[in-house]
Structure 1
Amino acid sequence: MMKALILTDGKPGHFNQSVAFCKNTGIDYELVDVNYRSKTAKALSYLLDRMGLYTKKLFQVSGLESQTSGFDLIISTGSTSFYPNKVLSKELALPNIAILNPQGYRPDFNAILCPAYDHPPKRNNVIELPLNLCAADQTFFEEKAEEFEQKHPAKGPAAGFIIGGPNAVSEINAAELKEQLEKAFELTIGCERWVTTSRRTPKEIEALIESLPFDYTLINSRDSYNPVPAFIQLCDHLFVTSDSASMVSEAASFGSARVEILMNRQLKTPNKFQELFQGLEKRDAVHIFDGTLGRADQKVDLTPQLQLALKRVS
C-alpha cells in the first residue's frame, strides 16, 4: 500500500481534503503539522519560491524528525502548507500533490487538484474538480445514520434542512429565509422535516428555526452533535443554504437525496459559490431553489480525477 505524508496547517477544512484524497484512493497516511515562524517568513516564501530557493528555516515541522522514510508522496492543502510541501518534496525526493489553487506560488507540483471555481492555471499537472473533496466514505454515512436513528427514529420520508449563516460574499436574511422555508414546507407535505444550524448561524435565524414546526431541531450553539451526515444518508430532499461550499459538496457527493440550494442574499456577484452551484446544477447534482422542487439527485464521483492525480505521482 502506498503511504502519504500529509502536511497540515491545523485547519480541518484543509487537512480533511488531503485525508479525503487518501481515503478515496486507498492510500495510508500520516499527518504532521507545519507552521511559519512568522508572517514575514510566509511572505518571504512566495519570493523564494519564485527564485527557486527552498529552505526549512522559514517554517517548523512537528513530529517529522523520526519518520523521514517510508513515504511515497507528499500531500498538502492550503497556502500555509504549499511552500513546506515543496521544500520537503525536494529534501525527501518524493513527488507531491497540492490541493486547492496554490496561487502566488509556482504551479510546479507533480499534481494539483483544484475546484474549477478557483480558476486554476491551465496546465497538464492541474486537475480541475467540480466540487470540494470530502473526507468521508459511504460506511461513515451509514454509521452516522444508525446513530441518528437512535436519537430520532424516522416515521417516514424526510426532508432535511442545513442552515448556515453569513460568509464573505453573502448574508442570511431572516425574512427571506422564512419565505423559502414556508414554501419548502408546502412542497414536502408527507415528509418529516429535520433541521440543523451551524456555528455561523446568527441568533435571529436560530429564533426563526425554533418558531417553525420542524419534527427534529438541532441548534448548534447549544448542542455540539452533528446530524448532517445522517441527513445526507437518510433524507429524500435536502435543503442547504448557499454559504458553505464544503456542505454542498458533501450533499452532492453522498446519499441519494435531491439537493436544493437555498440562496442567501448575495453581496458580491458573480462569486465562487455561484460558480460552484451552476456547475453542479449542469450535472443535475443540485437545484437552486426557486419555489419548485427539482430532481437533482445525481451524485458526483471524483474517482477519475483522483486516479489521474495518482498517475502523475507514480
Structure 2
Amino acid sequence: MSETPIKVVVVTDGVVGHENQSIGLCKWLERRWNLDVSVANVQLREKALSRLLLPKLLPEDSRAARRILKLFYETPELPDEADLVISTGGNSSFANILVASMLGCPNIYLGSLRRLNPRRINVHMTLEPTGYKNNLVMTMSPNLVDPKAVLDAGSSLLKRRKLDGTLWTLIIGGTGAGFDYGEQEWRLLATWANSMAEKYGIRWLLTTSRRTGGKGESVLKEHLKPEHIAYAVWWDSEPKKELLALIGAGTQVFTTADSMSMMTESIASSRPTTVVALPTHRANERYRAAMDRFARLGLCRLIQLSDETYCPPIPAMSFDLSTVIDQTLDQLEYRLAC
C-alpha cells in the first residue's frame, strides 16, 4: 500500500443509496490503497431544465467547467486538487464530469449513462454491459455492508426489543426504477405478507423507506394484521436507520425489487434473500437483466408478487464478498493504472 494518499473526491447528490455506493467503493479501494477522501454534496438546480441542457454543456477546460458547475449546482468548497472523482446516480453525474475537468483527474461513475457522453468517464461501473470500452461490469455494487457487523447489529436489536420466535425481514421501497405503487399494489403486498406469516408461522421485521410515503404506509397499516408484525419502522412517520440491523435480525430477508441498493445490501449481508417484484412493471432491460443475473448466479431468489405466491425458506447463499471485491479491484487497477 502506498504511503502517499490518493486524494479522492466523492461527489454526492445526498441520496443515501447513491452515497453509500460511492463511499462503499472507497472502502473497497482502501483494501489496497491509502485514500484521503473528501465528500462534496451537490444539489442540481432546476433539475428538469438542467438535465436537458447539461449533456451539451460539459467543457473539458477547467475554468469553463468551474463556471458551469456553479451555474447549475449548489456546491460546497471543493479541494484544489484530487487524484480521482467518484459519484453514483444521475443527479451527480454531470458534476462528476465537471469536477474531474476542473481538477484534471480521472473519474469513476456508477449508474446509467442516459444522455452522457461515455468518452467523458474513465471508468463506468455497471451491473450489466453497456458495450463501451470504459465499462467495468460488476458482480455486485459497492456498499457499506459488513456481514459480521450486520449479524451483530441484528442480535443487538433482538435483545433490545426482546424479540423472539421465527422472524423474517421485509424491506419495502416504493415507486421507482419502473415499479409503480398505488393503493392496489400496497394492498396486494400487505395481503401477501399476511398469507406468508400464516402459512409459515413467522412474524415480520418490517421497514418502509422514503419512497413508500405516507399514503403507502397508511394502506399497509390498514391491511397488515398486527399479530404478524414483530417490529416495524415506518419511515414516513418515524424514520430510523435500522435497515442493516433488521437484515441481520431476520433469518430470511425479502426486499421489494424497486431499489438496486436494497437488493445489493441484502445480498452482501450473506442473508438468504428473496427479491419481490410487482406483477407488472416498466423496469428497463438492463435493470431486469441485473435482477435476473443475481438470481442466475444464486445470489438471491426472484419472485413475482401475487396473493397466492408462497416462498418457503431458502438456505444461506454461498456468497464470498471478498472475492467479488478483489475481482473488482483487479479490473479498476488495470483501467486506472493505479
TM-score when normalising by structure 2: 0.77
SS in 2 for 1:14: helix
SS in 2 for 1:268: coil
1:58 to 1:99, Cα distance in 2 relative to 1, 3 A: same
Out of 310, 315, 329, the position equivalent to 1:291 is 310
Out of 56, 59, 63, the position equivalent to 2:66 is 56
User: Is the contact made by 1:21 and 1:306 (CA closer than 8 Å) also made in structure 2?
Assistant: no
CA distance in structure 2 between the partners assigned to 1:89 and 1:31 by the alignment: 14
SS in 2 for 1:57: helix
Out of 304, 309, 312, the position equivalent to 2:332 is 309
Out of 135, 150, 156, the position equivalent to 1:141 is 150
User: Is the contact made by 1:74 and 1:95 (CA closer than 8 Å) also made in structure 2?
Assistant: yes
TM-score when normalising by structure 1: 0.82
Shift of 1:127: 0.9
User: Is the contact made by 1:41 and 1:58 (CA closer than 8 Å) also made in structure 2?
Assistant: no
SS in 2 for 1:246: helix
Shift of 1:175: 4.5
CA distance in structure 2 between the partners assigned to 1:46 and 1:253 by the alignment: 34
RMSD: 3.0
1:42 to 1:35, Cα distance in 2 relative to 1, 3 A: farther
User: Is the contact made by 1:196 and 1:217 (CA closer than 8 Å) also made in structure 2?
Assistant: yes
1:63 to 1:278, Cα distance in 2 relative to 1, 3 A: same
Number of paired residues? 305
SS in 2 for 1:260: strand
Matched, 1:34 2:42: yes
Unaligned runs of 5+ in 1: none
Matched, 1:160 2:169: yes
User: Is the contact made by 1:24 and 1:137 (CA closer than 8 Å) also made in structure 2?
Assistant: no
Matched, 1:173 2:177: no
* 2:40 counterpart letter in structure 1: V
Shift of 1:237: 0.9
Unaligned runs of 5+ in 2: 304-308
User: Is the contact made by 2:191 and 2:224 (CA closer than 8 Å) also made in structure 1?
Assistant: no
Please list the CA deviations of residues 85-127 of structure 1 after superposition, one character each: whole Å capped at 9, or x if unmatched: 33332443322111112332221222111232xxx53133211
1:25 aligns with 29
Equivalence map 1:90-169=2 (5 Å):
90-108=101-119, 109-116=121-128, 121-138=130-147, 140-142=149-151, 144-167=153-176, 168-169=178-179
Shift of 1:229: 0.6
